[in-house]
Amino acid sequence: MTRNPCRITGCHGTAINRRICQKHRVRARLYGDPHATPWATVEPLDVEAVVARQAKPDGLGAASRHEVARRLTALQLSADEIARILSVSPRTIHRWRAQDRTTTTAAE
Ligand SMILES: [Zn+2]
């Protein structure tokens, strides 16, 4: 079986049609834009900065923290490391990951 990567930059999902994954297809349908997120307050530049520095964010909102956690997870960091970087409990990271698994595996 061929795995076609989602065309959205930074997404590790598998494309199911129109070269985007289920998650982004849903976003495109709900928000009219596959890049849209349910968390309107995510600031992409802040997320990039934190992911690049892997350092504690200053004044990063909860939604952005979740996005950073997702990106760091993709970089194979452990939940403990991510929790330390974001100053949240490892339990929070596990909860976020569980949420993300629910939304991404529903399509497969
Ligand atoms: Zn995607």
Does 10 share its domain with 61?
no
Does 91 share its domain with 52?
yes
Does 27 share its domain with 44?
no
- Phi, psi of 12, rounded to the nearest 5 degrees: -105, 15
Please name which of 69, 16, 73 lies closest in space to residue 47, comparing C-alpha atoms.
69
- Domain residues for the domain of 28 are 1-36
Question: What pLDDT, on a 0 to 100 scale, did the predictor assign at position 79?
Answer: 93
Give how many domains the chain has, as a whole number.
Answer: 2
Instruction: Report helix, strand or coil for 82.
Output: helix
Q: What separation in Å is there between the alpha carbon of 47 and the centre of ligand 1?
A: 17
Does 58 share its domain with 28?
no
Q: What separation in Å is there between the alpha carbon of 70 and the centre of ligand 1?
A: 13
Q: What separation in Å is there between the alpha carbon of 85 and the centre of ligand 1?
A: 25
Does the residue 13 lie in any domain? yes
3-state DSSP percent of the chain in helix, strand and coil, to 5: 55, 5, 40
Question: What pLDDT, on a 0 to 100 scale, did the predictor assign at position 108?
Answer: 47
Does the residue 107 lie in any domain? no
Query: The tokens of 51 are what?
Result: 């992911």
Does the residue 108 lie in any domain? no
- Mean pLDDT confidence for 81-96: 90
Does the residue 5 lie in any domain? yes
| pTM of model > 0.75 | no
